[in-house]
Structure 1
Amino acid sequence: MKYYETEDTAPQQQSIVAEMLAPYHSYFKSPVNKLSVIKGGLSSKSLSDLLEISGSTRFDLAKNLDLTEPTLRKHLSAPKELSTSLSEHVLFLLELYDKGLDTFGSIQEFKKWLPEYNIGIGAKPNDLLDSITGINIVMNELHRIDHGILA
């Protein structure tokens, strides 16, 4: 399922993204559930979901996940559980996109914000998505935006 961004399809895109994120919400809300699924391994479908939600290329997603593109492709084609570290990274990215959708009200607006330099974090948010610490920094900035603390 691939969607293309136009103003006419924005509400439909929001619905598609929300539906794709819905199965992960129980993990976002409970650290115990999150840890359990991380240790058990997310399914490889989570990579497909992340690829679709983020709109990233396979190359860019592989770079963020510290994988080669062929390795990512292998994960995408094989229906098996991901490693603990890969599961954690993917789940944190999915949670970030969920929060971005919530903060900006539009996945398109969040995606526009990610590559822009952000004075609050002293970097482009996109440049921080290759580590859990970086994702947490971006997540904290989204919380600051929610509360009107912009600098």
Structure 2
Amino acid sequence: MSKSIKGHVASRGSTPAPVKPYVYESTATFMVNDLLVPYETYFKSPLAKLGAIKQGLQAGALTDLLRVTGATQVDIAKWLDITEPTLRKHIQGSRELNQGLSEHIIQLFELFDKGLDTFGSLDEFKSWLKHYNPGIDAIPFDLLDTLTGISIVLTQLIRIDYGVLA
């Protein structure tokens, strides 16, 4: 069977398995979901979030953040208000991140999780982030350097979910 034909075919026997024409999740979406899984408990429980912030996230959270957001190290350093060399030092380090960085990273993960939920595609959400939004009178991407800015963007995503765009 041609690679261009979508669907699944049984490897043995003559009866093909049913075709699933409406399943369009890409492997990139699955990878992002896998990267977000360890952080999802923080989105659902404020106490779990607080505990993780106080304990400090592992340095690997920065690598996960780079992968989930697709942002450059320059962007991530700007969002977290640290220099690029400091970001690289944290990425290569094995110590827990401080509370401020941990909180900001968790909020960014929560935002990207919500964006994926709202838009159904990480690429569509990233595109939306980079365009001017009249509802918040800003480009959402430019607000990710503060917790208040992230909160504003999250609120806008909730408004989109409910169809309240003005």
Deviations 1:69-128 (A, max 9, x none): 000000000021000000000000011000000000000000000010001001000010
**Identity fraction in percent:** 55
Specify the alignment match of 1:138 in structure 2: 153
The 5 Å alignment of 1:32-111 reads 32-111=47-126
Measure the CA separation in 2 of the matches of 1:61 and 1:85. 14
Higher relative contact order (CA 8 A, sep 6+): 1
Return the match for 1:30 from 45, 50, 59: 45
Instruction: Quote the offset at 1:150 in angstroms.
Output: 1.2
- TM-score when normalising by structure 1: 0.93
Coordinate RMSD, CA, aligned: 1.0
Deviations 1:33-69 (A, max 9, x none): 0000000001111110001111111111101110000
- The letter of the residue matching 1:111 is K
Measure the CA separation in 2 of the matches of 1:46 and 1:146. 28
Aligned pair count reads 143
Specify the alignment match of 2:32 in structure 1: 17
Unaligned stretches of 5+ residues in structure 1: 1-8
Measure the CA separation in 2 of the matches of 1:102 and 1:44. 26
Specify the alignment match of 1:150 in structure 2: 165
Q: After TM superposition, where is structure 1 displaced by more than 4 Å over at least 4 residues in a row?
A: none
Unaligned stretches of 5+ residues in structure 2: 1-23
- TM-score when normalising by structure 2: 0.84
Instruction: Quote the offset at 1:10 in angstroms.
Output: 6.1
Measure the CA separation in 2 of the matches of 1:94 and 1:73. 19
Measure the CA separation in 2 of the matches of 1:86 and 1:50. 12
